[in-house]
Structure 1
Amino acid sequence: MTIKAVIFDIGNVLIEWQPERYYDARIGEDRRRAMFAQLDLHGMNDVIDRGGDFRGTVYDWAEKTPEWGEEIRLWHDDWLEMAKPAIPRSVRVMRALRAKGTPVHALTNFGIGTWEIATPAYDFLNEFDQAFVSGHMGVIKPEPEIYQQVETQLGLPGQALLFTDDRADNIAAAAARGWHTHHFTGPDGWAQRLVAEGLLTESEAQ
């Protein structure tokens, strides 16, 4: 079946998302390793991505673990510094697809509160034909329901969709529903995949 829409993950596809790198710069690698070994901060973030209150969730974790309270609160108070920078070539190919009339959507694990912070900071996040944001959907990747919701809302089967994500488990879940997939390991490979699919020319994919 012809690909009728392209779907982008956001974290580490359009915007770098490396909390560990952020904390290494703030508190040093040794302290960061100790904190992440003790605390499942990515699990905390999953609560937010499912629709949990951003500040409330982070501050609750900080209160429950006072020895790391200041550091945990940074997840909320300095979040935009964690979610940076943009990945320019990915943004360019997203815009090139839209310029050619290809529907382009986002499917992202993102909280309601973090989305409200990110969308004014990154203009391209407002350019999708539809943005499927887990916090608003109440379900996260790689749970099958989130892919089903996308298919239903778009009125398209998986075979009509091409999806890129940096996480292999998210890709596997989409592929299991028949989606065309690309495991994102960098913008160059993704651009070449779009060329190979005939969605962009070499010059358009630069």
Structure 2
Amino acid sequence: MNVEAVIFDIGNVLIEWQPERHYDRVIGPERRKRMFAAVDLHGMNDLVDQGQNFTDTIYAWAEKYPEWRDEIRMWHDDWISLASPAIPHSVRLMRALRAQCVPVFALTNFGVQNFDYACTIYPFLNEFDRLYVSGRMKTVKPRAEIYERVEADCGIAAESLLFTDDRQDNIAAAQARGWQTHHFDGPDGLAHRLVTEGLLKESEAA
């Protein structure tokens, strides 16, 4: 089946998302490990991804753990440093597809307020043909509902969608819907896949 649209995850596909790396730089690896063992920061972030307010959620979480209050607030106050830098080759691939008139969508677990902020830092986030942000949709990957809603909105058959994501559970959920998938482990692999699918020439995918 020919690919009619390519769907990109954002975190660790178009933008590096490595909170632990930022905390290692700021508070040191040992203190970071203790904090992440004591506080479910990724669980906190999941609430934001499901549509809870970015500031309110993180600041409330910080008050539950006085020992770590300042460090937890860094998730909010230093957020763009957690979500950086962009992955230039991936961005070029997205733009190359659009230049060839291949529809390009985003399907991302991302909060409402922090996504809007990210769009001011990374202009390419405004360039997708369709944008599916979990916080706006109030549901997240890998729940089946979010994939169903993408299909219903874009009107493209599941088997004609090519989805790339760095998380295997998100890929598996898309495969269960009949989507074509690419498990992202770097832009070179994605470039090769896009060339193999006939969506880009090698020179366009460089």
- Tell me, in whole angstroms, the C-alpha distance in 2 between the residues paired with 1:44 and 1:54: 10
Q: Which residue of 1 aligns with 2:101?
A: 101
- Tell me, in whole angstroms, the C-alpha distance in 1 between the residues paired with 2:204 and 2:122: 22
Unaligned stretches of 5+ residues in structure 1? none
- Tell me, in whole angstroms, the C-alpha distance in 2 between the residues paired with 1:174 and 1:126: 24
- Secondary structure, counterpart of 2:203 in structure 1: coil
Q: Which residue of 2 aligns with 1:75?
A: 75
Per the TM alignment, residue 116 of structure 1 is displaced from its structure 2 partner at its CA by 1.2
Per the TM alignment, residue 189 of structure 1 is displaced from its structure 2 partner at its CA by 0.3
Per the TM alignment, residue 156 of structure 1 is displaced from its structure 2 partner at its CA by 1.4
What amino acid sits opposite 1:125 in the alignment?
Answer: L
Per the TM alignment, residue 99 of structure 1 is displaced from its structure 2 partner at its CA by 0.2
Per the TM alignment, residue 2 of structure 1 is displaced from its structure 2 partner at its CA by 1.4
CA deviation map 1:96-122 (0-9, x unaligned): 000000000000000001111100100
Q: CA RMSD in A?
A: 0.5
Q: Tell me, yes or no, if structure 1 residue 40 matches structure 2 residue 40.
A: yes
Q: Tell me, yes or no, if structure 1 residue 6 matches structure 2 residue 6.
A: yes
- Secondary structure, counterpart of 1:90 in structure 2: helix
- Secondary structure, counterpart of 2:200 in structure 1: coil
Q: Which residue of 2 aligns with 1:162?
A: 162
Per the TM alignment, residue 157 of structure 1 is displaced from its structure 2 partner at its CA by 1.9
Correspondence 1:175-186 to 2 at 5 A: 175-186=175-186
Per the TM alignment, residue 56 of structure 1 is displaced from its structure 2 partner at its CA by 0.4
- Tell me, in whole angstroms, the C-alpha distance in 1 between the residues paired with 2:149 and 2:200: 27
Q: Which residue of 2 aligns with 1:200?
A: 200
- Tell me, in whole angstroms, the C-alpha distance in 2 between the residues paired with 1:144 and 1:22: 32
- Tell me, in whole angstroms, the C-alpha distance in 2 between the residues paired with 1:127 and 1:73: 30
- Tell me, in whole angstroms, the C-alpha distance in 1 between the residues paired with 2:198 and 2:40: 42
- Tell me, in whole angstroms, the C-alpha distance in 2 between the residues paired with 1:127 and 1:189: 22
Q: Which residue of 1 aligns with 2:137?
A: 137
- Tell me, in whole angstroms, the C-alpha distance in 2 between the residues paired with 1:186 and 1:143: 24
Q: Which residue of 2 aligns with 1:24?
A: 24
What is the aligned length?
Answer: 206
Q: TM-score, normalised by structure 2?
A: 0.99
Q: Which residue of 2 aligns with 1:147?
A: 147
Q: Percent identity?
A: 65
Q: Tell me, yes or no, if structure 1 residue 87 matches structure 2 residue 68.
A: no
Unaligned stretches of 5+ residues in structure 2? none
- Tell me, in whole angstroms, the C-alpha distance in 1 between the residues paired with 2:134 and 2:198: 30
Q: Tell me, yes or no, if structure 1 residue 64 matches structure 2 residue 56.
A: no
CA deviation map 1:144-181 (0-9, x unaligned): 00000000000112101000000000000000000000
- Tell me, in whole angstroms, the C-alpha distance in 1 between the residues paired with 2:92 and 2:16: 15
What amino acid sits opposite 2:64 in the alignment?
Answer: K
Q: Tell me, yes or no, if structure 1 residue 119 matches structure 2 residue 119.
A: yes
- Tell me, in whole angstroms, the C-alpha distance in 2 between the residues paired with 1:139 and 1:129: 20
